[in-house]
Structure 1
Amino acid sequence: MSVASVPQTVSPDLTSRTIAYFSMEIALAPALPTYSGGLGMLAGDTLRSAADTGAPMVAVSLVHRHGYFKQALSPSGQQSETDVIWNPSTLPPAGKSVTITMQGRAIKVSAWRFDVVGVTGHVIPVFLLDSDIEGNDPYDRTLTDHLYGGDTYYRLCQETVLGMAGVELLHELGCLPSVYHMNEGHAALLALGLLEDQIEGKPLSTATEADRLAVAKQCVFTTHTPVPAGHDQFGRDQMYAVLGQERAEALERFGCMHNNLLNMTYIALRFSRWVNGVAMQHGKVSQEMFPEYHVESVTNGVHAATWIAPPLQRLFDDEIPRWRHDNQYFRSVYGIKPSRIANAHRVGKRKLIEAIAERTGEALNESVLTLGFARRVATYKRASLLLQDPKRLARIAKKIGGLQIVFAGKAHPADTAGKGLIQEVFEIAGKISRGSLRILYLENYDWELGATLTQGVDVWVNTPRRPYEASGTSGMKAALNGVPSLSILDGWWIEGCAEDVTGWAIDDGDNDDAEAASLYDKLENRIAPLFAKPNAWARMQQHCIAMNGSFFNTDRMLGQYFANAYFPLAPTIDESPSAEKLGEESAAKSVTASV
């Protein structure tokens, strides 16, 4: 896969960069398979807003030479995966390499540089670490190949490269940030690298609580999931084998274990002065999960210029040209006639229908209400809830003059239950997708397909099981394109839902049947009747952009990080307990707290 079309610039002065953003995955360009889903998209959008706003940032990730995976679906919905191999040598090299000790041997790590360029030309350099270097152990050369690939041992090695080699490389390049932002716990071992710097070559056994606090003053941690599987844990034997005895003993001593497992979330918690969830509700849930720590919240956003359809961008350029520099100008959308917004969205819907025809040979109807459901396939996201009562859904479709539903999403290669969910959608669709009801599942959900869907559907559907949706961002992308959501009140939608104005809430129920019944009620009695009134529907599209677009963007989000986390006006108080106060009993209590 070539990235020759991606322009690169002269590397900026790294000595002036005060914030280092570490993320296991970053969606940098559609041609680069360096992301898997929402976490990587958020990271990429964050850096695009940082470039637009002139932020003094630099970022670190892994090169992922073989990508995440390309999805293929059989006629029955069985998923298969193939590597997405790309050649990073089309990017400029970082110019430096570092050597770290891991698994009892030296491993050399270099990097490639990708430049994120903002609207004014400001550059955020992203360094993609690469261990595929001649002279390294053959196993070590594969460590930066597969995003979320391999077994837990492979993953711990990957996360060691990200954290420890990442810190070393920045320092070798002359970059000495005052703030290190860990985007999820995968990057937590950067704290160990900083601790080694803090004690200036002395044995880690000499590190004190004051040294831990000195590292914590440099670190910010964003946790992204209340789902236990989202918090990486590794066996004690793996920790000793990969990191070595001295480092492993230091992590144990500083309270980074839970249930005798190395817990990356606890490393990040112990070594950060600021911790936040990614939506108001998620901050509360995370506070309950980790009661010994103070957890704030900064609600996620998306990068507007990346996700808004070209016809809407042209309309905004004509009417509110400052929107690219300041997303608060989306409130000025109220000065644009709703019919013009509706006309621009219609072009996006037409593009979606053309893309579907090209992919599947199926011809959808532009005038028919079209629902979109696309995201990573995991059981808690309940992709099949929309199909819970197939007979009722078919009756609604006939009553309202037709209904089209477009699904997309990948299951992790090791997620058997997620793969089964895709097959369940295929099975139900095969029985009822005919006549007035059309149901399609599009394979290989990626950046470009995600954009086409959020720009083209009429309603975005989201059905997670509460409270497991930390934030969600696909609905934000849809809102920026004038697309309302029909969603469970979880994650960002608690803050974004103005009933019958920006969308609709699926009422909480005791079980899936009850929540599906609420979904069908809203679809039949609120959504379809409004869709049949073009002027009223256009007004809702206007509300989505003006109300939700002006807030749920990464410009606002990044501003909150600067004001509250990176360089707070008020001093940040370290409220984490000392290592002496963290026994196994209190640690166990924190992780078993109610979610």
Structure 2
Amino acid sequence: MIKIPQEFDTVAYFSMEIGLESDMRTYSGGLGVLAGDTLRTFADLNINAVGVTQINSKGYNRQVLDENGNQIDSPDEWNPEDFLERLPETTTVKIEGEDVKIGVWRREIESPEGFTVPILFLDTDLEENKERFRDITSRLYGDDRRYRLSQEIVLGIGGARILDELGYNIDKYHMNESHSSLLSLELLKKQDMDREKVKDLCVFTTHTPEGSAHDEFSYGLVEEVLGDFVSISELKELSQEESLHMSLLALNLSGYSNAVSKRHGEVSKQMFPEYSIDSITNGVHPPTWVSESFAEVYDEWVPGWRSDPYKLKHAVGIPEEEIWEAHLSEKEKLIDAVNNNSEVEMNDRVFTIGFARRAAPYKRADLIFQDTDRLVQIAKEKGDFQVIFAGKAHPQGEKSKEMIGRVTGHIRELKDDIKMTYLQGYDMDWGALLTAGVDLWLNTPERGREACGTSGMKAACNGVPQLSTLDGWWIEGHLEDVTGWKIGLEPEETPENAYQTDSKDLYEKLEEYIMPCFYADRKKWVRIMRNAIAFNASYYHTHRMVGEYLVNAYT
């Protein structure tokens, strides 16, 4: 169990998105789901904490794919009253020189032992606000820069103020990505512009190795929207001359900063060489992501795993037949759901590959299609296999939408040879079904561009091995032919043609190792499944992750 330091008081965990359940459209992907898992773990470990986010009442994006694989976008609205309690307290921030009132909703996470952690959802859709301000907290990651900066004012400055209104005594403010960085300016003003005092209060976690994904705002826009909250000369000292760089602002006003895997830490230090950036590898919340069938097995053979996931290392003692039967049960649920929600008829006895994550070009969902003739040959000579894809593109992400179009085009092209489908509306429910029900989890990011990749950790919780390029957490969790398999070269090696090199190795792994093992050596296959639980699921969980934050960041 994690030992909580006695001097620890209360942490405020700020995140633009927090994923708690599929019908609450408050998240877009891994960042929000991680935030939800983290807050659940705070509750499990009896840690005084409070989550702060925005309401996102119109969700992120409702995804529909037309017959040609084009993503059709629309709002994904939900009713906060069905899930949250509105509180009477409000606060105010200035945006474009005018007062904007912020309301707040609350949801409490409760541990099995009854300890609760509240989450506060900020809302500007109030009658007192002008129409253009009422929409600020409705859409997650709106592309307009003015809208985005307004959101970050509400989250950072408004979030810090609502905590004061509610009487919270915060020991640490944890910024989960830089969207809430402006809270550091609010604290700076409260601390009479003493930067060292603010650093003692702030923790910053960066989640992306993509330079373009770090928010920046021109100082002209900052003056228009934020006003003279802090002088531009002060902001330039805390950021950069050309623009307000939110990650640099957070780095300059945080006493502790970290990346989310060892490899991501190396990349982050290259991006920000003047800063000390530690690494704490992400995890997942096992009680949330372990499927019903595997939970029953763990309850029998690894009692206490929910409160102490490290105990899953004892999975090596679980009988192989029980692991296989639990997997078949979850696979049947998945295939039934897929067949009910797509036009393809899949078979729960056929080897099934899953690829599901936020649609982005660097994740290379189309890598498996580099040589379609080879792919069909493998299916004919090594045994049938089927592939399930899922993942949303950002509404303004044209290249991501093109990636979906290429994948669905290949699916149609190969429909007579290999059963494949692209599921619409990927969410937490589909994520749970897929990570428990597929036989193999496929992950193909370009090296150095995957910060962590927690979906493979969820799969490991259910004994599903991973086939992946060596990036993110897989560099740490990969044991070849033991917990899964790697694709391509070592992390430090750079192939001349990464697509060709990686796709060739992907085919070889499927053809020579993975499919022969699945169909002809069931005993070894189940042993690899068991290893994924014992070696990966027992370590890559949020109980371990939060313990590292307690020791390294919060005290």
Q: Which amino acid aligns with 2:198?
A: V
Residue 272 of structure 1 deviates from its aligned partner by: 0.3
1:418 matched to 2:392: no
CA contact (8 A) 2:344 2:419 kept: no
1:466 counterpart residue number: 447
Of 473, 488, 505, 1:492 maps to 473
Cα distance in 1, alignment partners of residues 409 and 78 from structure 2: 35
1:478 counterpart residue number: 459
2:350 counterpart residue number: 368
1:528 matched to 2:515: yes
> What are the Cα deviations for residues 289-333 of structure 1, in whole angstroms up to 9, with x where unaligned?
111100100000001011111010111112222001001110111
1:233 matched to 2:216: yes
Residue 396 of structure 1 deviates from its aligned partner by: 0.4
1:133 counterpart residue number: 126
SS at match of 2:139: coil
SS at match of 1:464: coil
1:40-59 aligned within 5 A = 40-59=32-51
CA contact (8 A) 2:9 2:170 kept: yes
CA contact (8 A) 1:93 1:111 kept: yes
1:537 matched to 2:518: no
> What are the Cα deviations for residues 518-541 of structure 1, in whole angstroms up to 9, with x where unaligned?
110011001011112111111111
1:48-127 aligned within 5 A = 48-90=40-82, 91-127=84-120
> What are the Cα deviations for residues 517-576 of structure 1, in whole angstroms up to 9, with x where unaligned?
011001100101111211111111100001000011111100000011111xxxxxxxxx
**TM-score of the superposition, structure 2-length normalised?**
0.96
Figure out how many residues of one structure are paired with residues of the other and give that number. 540
1:311 matched to 2:299: no
1:180 matched to 2:173: yes
Residue 150 of structure 1 deviates from its aligned partner by: 4.2
Q: Which amino acid aligns with 1:153?
A: R
1:323 counterpart residue number: 305
Residue 438 of structure 1 deviates from its aligned partner by: 1.4
5+ long unaligned stretches in structure 2: 1-7, 490-494
Cα distance in 2, alignment partners of residues 95 and 53 from structure 1: 29
SS at match of 2:203: strand
2:314 counterpart residue number: 332
Alignment CA distance shift 1:251-1:110 (3 Å): farther
2:551 counterpart residue number: 563
1:575 counterpart residue number: none
Higher mean C-alpha displacement, 334-343 vs 458-467 = 334-343
Alignment CA distance shift 1:526-1:412 (3 Å): same
> What are the Cα deviations for residues 441-465 of structure 1, in whole angstroms up to 9, with x where unaligned?
1111111111111110000001101
Q: Which amino acid aligns with 2:79?
A: N
Identity of aligned residues (%): 44
Cα distance in 1, alignment partners of residues 505 and 377 from structure 2: 15
Residue 175 of structure 1 deviates from its aligned partner by: 0.4
**TM-score of the superposition, structure 1-length normalised?**
0.89
Cα distance in 1, alignment partners of residues 234 and 296 from structure 2: 53
Q: Which amino acid aligns with 2:264?
A: H
5+ long unaligned stretches in structure 1: 1-15, 200-206, 568-595
CA contact (8 A) 2:219 2:232 kept: no
CA contact (8 A) 2:344 2:420 kept: no
CA contact (8 A) 2:68 2:405 kept: yes
Cα distance in 2, alignment partners of residues 248 and 421 from structure 1: 43
2:238 counterpart residue number: 255
Misfit runs of 4+, over 6 Å: none
Q: Which amino acid aligns with 1:94?
A: L
Residue 29 of structure 1 deviates from its aligned partner by: 1.8
> What are the Cα deviations for residues 105-128 of structure 1, in whole angstroms up to 9, with x where unaligned?
111101000111112111110000
2:366 counterpart residue number: 384
Cα distance in 1, alignment partners of residues 87 and 119 from structure 2: 10
1:202 counterpart residue number: none
RMSD between superposed Cα atoms in Å: 1.2
Higher mean C-alpha displacement, 453-462 vs 312-321 = 312-321
Cα distance in 1, alignment partners of residues 68 and 54 from structure 2: 35
CA contact (8 A) 1:232 1:265 kept: yes
